[in-house]
Structures are given as structure tokens and as C-alpha cells.
Amino acid sequence: MASVNGVQTNIPINTADNWKPDSWRSKPIKQCPEYPDIKALHKATAELDQLPPIVHPHEIEKLKQSLKEVAEGKAFLLQGGDCAELFDYCRQDAIESKLKLLLQMSLVLIRGTNRKVVRIGRMAGQYAKPRSSPMETVDGKQVPSFRGDILNGFDLSERELDPQRLVKAYSYSAATLNCIRAAISSGIADLHRPMNWELGHVQDERLKAKYSESVGFLTEALRFMRTIGADKARNLETVDIYTSHEGLLLEYEQSLTRLLAVPRYPAEGETQKFEYYDTSAHFIWIGDRTRQIDHAHVEFIRGIANPIGVKVGPTTPTSDLLELLRTINPSREVGKVTLITRYGAAKVRELLPAHIRAVESSEYRGTVIWQCDPMHGNTRSVSSGIKTRRFDDIFSELQETLAVHKEEGSYLGGMHLELTGDAVTECMGGSQNLDEGDLSTNYTSHCDPRLNEKQALEMAFLVADHYLEERKVDGTVQDQQ
């Protein structure tokens, strides 16, 4: 028996055995906030329980179909956005600048990879961040660590955990996603007008010329399609942008997990099936700190129908990978799990081959998406104590990962970047040649450093160039003509 909208029913449910949205509570848990006022927490989660879903199962299932194509090598996954969103980022200019950047990067990658690009933003819900310690030292004083706007505020006067922020996070997520949808429906992504995406922020003439060349290529292709009458397709005027965040705060994720009908028409005589969807986002991932197989976070994600990401790093035993896959995806659904590798540029060749071989020599061969996160393993502090990343290290990890996958006969299906559409100065290097002295110019992140709009676009060009050169060697560049 299951309950749908409070009514007991015998409907079939596609979910893990003995799993319920709250079964994670019986497991040990890491990164769990200890709210001082449990009554206030229950009041906030009860309010969330009654609110409508932020995303719809139809959208989640549509993403799953696209991710299946990524796993099969027919598409490329671009995932990017802020390290930790702030409620203050819920502004039209901030949202649209990230959206435009993801669209620009995907245009470049489409030309380079000769594949469709699936776009997922670290947006509309990335409000929680894992921390090494619940306390930190600020100006010689021990204070609670900033754990993301969904839990507490960055200002020292707001460091106490506040359950009402869970409800605020819902509101800001819904408003952000509404702005994304409105921008797309208003034509921001219309490929008939690619030059409307504005290049004013790209000052480097070489970079601007390369982007303009890509836009010119697309314009010529569209002109040809128009000539033969093949340009009427709706998908030339709009794109799909999906949302994602780390499923860190299980109180929030549980409240937004709903038993809903799988959005498809049953065959004649077949009963409509229901599954549990986490409606807080389309795509949920678990991090390096919370992927313990017998712990709460894995217990939670094994039961939801959403596509799942798992961070894989230097501390991931090879033996854990298969156990994780068998726990999260026992039916071996293609594209269900994305393995997001993050080693650090110097460790890719040491660690990645064994992880690839473990998966690709098992029953999970061809079912997972391999994605590179070249950001988290390359964080360092400069002499002033500021955290930063070097552009060359980030690209080096991408290059090494691409090379290893080619050597192992597997497919790197995507990249996962922390980025912003603003002109921040948080990562060193790139065509701007930012150095240590530039970091304080516009360093606004409260967590990890992000690529600015110029560095992110340049990264897309470098990855696209890699694929173009590879295709020239293979003799397949003419596929685009």
C-alpha cells in the first residue's frame, strides 16, 4: 500500500525495496546541521510539505532521456554555475548573465563536439555547502561556519541556524527557475538571432573573433536550412535548461520528494506507474563527503527517480564505485548516474584509469556518464590566504581526463564548472592574465573561487578546439558541413 495525496492505494511504485522518503533517518549521517529549535524545524518542513513541486516529473523524465544520449556518446553535458548560490543572486541580471554564458558556451561546444549539448545549471537551489568543521575562526573568534544561505547567513550576526531559511530557499529557487523559464520563452535562446547574445563583455579580440566565427558558422547553417525550408523547428527558438544542486540537506529534500505519476501513457491494460521524484531540482548530486554507501545520503538518493550525480575523488576506493552503482542504480538504467571525477590535475593519470576500468569492465559498462569537474581538486591558497584556482590547472585536468578516456576507450561525456556571468577576479590566469594581485579587485564568492564569464567562455573554446582537432585527425570534421 502507498499513499498518494493522503489516500491509501494499491498503485505500483517503481522504487527501491523498503525505501521511503524518510528511511535515511535510520542511517548514520554526515554534514547534518543540529538545529537548536526542533519545533521550528518541524514547522518549516511542514510548510514545505504543502508547497507545490518546484520542477515537474515530465521535465525530470525529459532530462533522463537526454542524459541517456550522453551516456551513449551522442551528446555532451555542460553543467555550471555558482559554488554556492546566495539569496541575493535571485535577480534578473544575475540569472540572465549565467544563462547567457551557458548558452554561449554550449554554442561553442556544439560546433566543436558535433553533438547536441545538454545544459544543467548549478542554479535555483544550490544554497547549501559542506564544511570541514561546524566552527571557524574569524578575527580571532570562534563562530559557526557559513554553511550556505539555506542554513545561515554569511554576516556574523546571522550565523545561527535558522529553519525558516528552508522555506526561503524554496521561494528563491522557484523565483530563479521562473526567471529562467521566462527568459527562454521570451526568445533569449533563439538561434535565429545568435548575435543578440551580446559580446560586449568579451574584450579580448582573439577570443571575440573565435566566438564570432562560431556564430558565423551557425548563421550560415541556419541560412541554408531556411533556404530549403527546414528552419521551422521549435527547437531552434528555445532550449532546455535544467537545474541541479547538491542534495546535502535531507530535511529539505525529503519535504520536496513526492509520489507522482510517471509522465507517460500506459499501454492498453497496463496500470499507471508512480515513482518518488525529488521535485526540488531536476538533477541531484552527492559530494565527496557524503557518498558513504551505508549512510543517509546514499540511502536517500537510491529511492528517487531523478538522475543522480556522484562526486569521485582521490579518496574514492575503486571497490566503492561498483557498490555505489549497484545501490543507486540496480536496474542499470542508462544515464541514471553521472560519475563526476575531481582529482586535481596532477593526480588524473594516477587515479582515473583504475576507476574507468572498474566500471567499464563490469555490468555497468555503457550505462554511466563520465563527467570531469576540474575545479575542486585544484583549489589553493595564495600568500595572502585567499583561496583561488589557476586557469591552467583547470584546463590541464580537463586535457588529462580527455586523454585518459581516449586511451581507455571510454567517453568523457561532460564537464562540471563553477562559474559566474559576472566579471569576478577569483581564479588566476586565462587570457586576462589575472595574478595574485588582481584577486582582491572583485572577489565576491563566500565559498570557492569561480571562473568569470571570460575565463569560462575561453575554457569552452579550448575544449571545443580539442574535439575539433581530434575530429580532423579522425577525418570526421566534414560531418558538420
Residue list for the binding site for phosphoenolpyruvate: 122, 311, 342
- Secondary structure (3-state) at 305: coil
What's the Cα-to-Cα distance from 244 to each of 124, 217, 278, 444, rounded to whole Å? 7, 31, 11, 22
Residue 144 host element (H or E): strand 141-144
Map grid coordinates 547536441 to a residue: 116
- Residues at the binding site for Mn(2+) are 83, 376, 418, 448
Residues 243/283, Cβ–Cβ less than 8 Å: yes
Q: Which three cell numbers stand for residue 205?
A: 579580440
Nearest to 130 by CA among 45, 33, 25, 34: 33
Residues 422/89, Cβ–Cβ less than 8 Å: no
**How many angstroms separate the CA atoms of 341 and 347, rounded?**
11
Q: Give buried/exposed letters for 323-344 (b at 16+ CB in 10 A, else e).
A: ebbeebbeebbbbbbbbbbbbb
* Residues in contact with 23: Cβ distance below 8 Å, sequence separation at least 6, in sequence order: 299, 300, 303
- Provide the H-helix boundaries in 120-163: none
Q: Which three cell numbers stand for residue 229?
A: 525550408
**How many angstroms separate the CA atoms of 15 and 303, rounded?**
5
- Residues at the binding site are 83, 122, 311, 342, 376, 418, 448
In sequence order, what are the beta bridge partners of 129?
Answer: none
* Residues in contact with 144: Cβ distance below 8 Å, sequence separation at least 6, in sequence order: 134, 135, 136, 152, 159, 160, 161
CB atoms inside a 10 Å sphere around CB 220 = 10
**How many angstroms separate the CA atoms of 174 and 256, rounded?**
12
Residues 424/442, Cβ–Cβ less than 8 Å: yes
CB atoms inside a 10 Å sphere around CB 52 = 10
What is the DSSP secondary-structure string of 402-458? HHHHHHHT--EEEEEEEB-SS----EEBTTTTB-GGGGGGS---SSS--B-HHHHHH
What's the Cα-to-Cα distance from 247 to each of 31, 222, 287, 409, rounded to whole Å? 11, 40, 8, 31
